[in-house]
Amino acid sequence: MTDDKIYDLEERTAVFGEKIIDFAKTLPKNVINNELIRQIVKAGTSVGANYNEADGAESKRDFRHKIAICKKESKETKHWLRMIARANPNKKAECKKLWSEAQELTLIFSSILSPKKKL
């Protein structure tokens, strides 16, 4: 992501998914990368899809469930980025940037899910 933070989560998760797609297109096709590409595109783009579902949730419980899926998928994306960095050492810097955004999204979703403390 750029230094300009996007505070609209719908837009931010969509941009994240787009960046994952664009990154995946730069990876060389081979027996290892083909599976890694499939996995990272699936996980990275589902963050935004599930956020949109959470936004249209039918209940608080449904909202929390969808946000939990967003958190799970952003964490999974971090895993696949680590594997891609291992398989493609020349892509390590790009993986690190995307990993940082996935981590920020994970923390945002964790914060949404954390119980509010009463003062």
List per-block mean pLDDT (blocks of 10 residues) for the chain, which spans 119 residues.
69 97 98 98 98 93 96 98 98 98 97 76
Q: Which two tokens stand for residue 24?
A: 């995946």
Q: What gap in Å lies between CA 88 and CA 44, rounded to an integer?
A: 18
pLDDT of residue 56: 92
Question: Within a domain: residue 57?
Answer: yes
Q: Which two tokens stand for residue 26?
A: 């730069």
Question: Within a domain: residue 2?
Answer: no
DSSP H helices, 27-91, are 31-55, 60-87
* pTM of the predicted protein model: 0.89
Question: Within a domain: residue 17?
Answer: yes
Question: Within a domain: residue 51?
Answer: yes
pLDDT of residue 4: 61
Amino acid 99 reads: W
The answer to whether residues 99 and 83 touch, using CB atoms and an 8 Å cutoff, is no
Amino acid 19 reads: K
Looking at residue 28, the DSSP 8-state letter turns out to be P
CA atoms within 13 A on the CB side of 21: 10
CA-angle at 77, arms to 106 and 88, nearest 5°? 135
Range(s) of the domain holding residue 82: 9-113
Number of domains in the chain: 1
Q: Return the CATH number at 34.
A: 1.20.1440.60
Q: Which two tokens stand for residue 21?
A: 């797609």
pLDDT of residue 1: 44
pLDDT of residue 115: 80
